[in-house]
Amino acid sequence: MDGRWVPKMVSDRMQEAASTLKKLRVSRLKPSGYGSSWPEIVRDMGEVLGQETPELQSGPPTPEAITRMDEALHWLHWLEPDQARLVWMHAEGVPRKMICAKVGMSRAKAWRSWVAALMTIASAINASRRVTQLGESKEDTFRRVYLRTGNASAAYRDAFGMEGLSQVTLKQRAARLARKIGDKSDRHTSSQVTVVT
């Protein structure tokens, strides 16, 4: 494949993002300060016997999965609110009949809207990765965006993408490239490197 995104790839990434978010909730990973002041519930034997066995969980998600989830959630901003809701419900595995009832569309129209939203995301991803100037290398793209915005992380994302990279690795690589550019240019010094996520 030539590296271009297609709707199926977007759908798979959205499903992975929904799964990762669910694992975060199940493993109770959340920002500090959001805990409840209530104690854990202690159940007696009668309550436990009436419960179904919980599904086996594969543990908390990896940092790479969380990074991919963050990226996929960002893609929803490129859509209209109704389209984003439709894409997310599909990703969570909500049955189509319930989706149609919630969004007030026929099954065929909901399907067409979902596919159109996936195509919108795929097109936006492909457009953001397209080299804007003929013959421009990835490092030149990084340099151009970094000098324009001053944001090394955003420039690295635009030039190289962030497939499989954790935020820490992305920041390190972006800072290293920004320092390299700073060494070549009097305009930016290594102390002025800005790495923002």
pLDDT (mean) for 101-120? 94
Residue-wise pLDDT for 159-169, tens only, equals 777 666 777 88
Q: Is 95 helix (H, G, I), strand (E, B) or coil?
A: coil
- What's the mean pLDDT when you consider all of the chain? 78
pLDDT at 153 over 90: no
- Residue of 187, 114, 194, 181 lying closest to 154 (CA atoms): 194
Alpha helices by DSSP H, listed for the chain, are 7-26, 45-49, 63-75, 81-91, 96-103, 107-129, 138-149, 152-160, 167-184
Residue 50: pLDDT band (50, 70, 90) is low
Q: Is the distance from CB of 123 to CB of 112 less than 8 angstroms? A: no
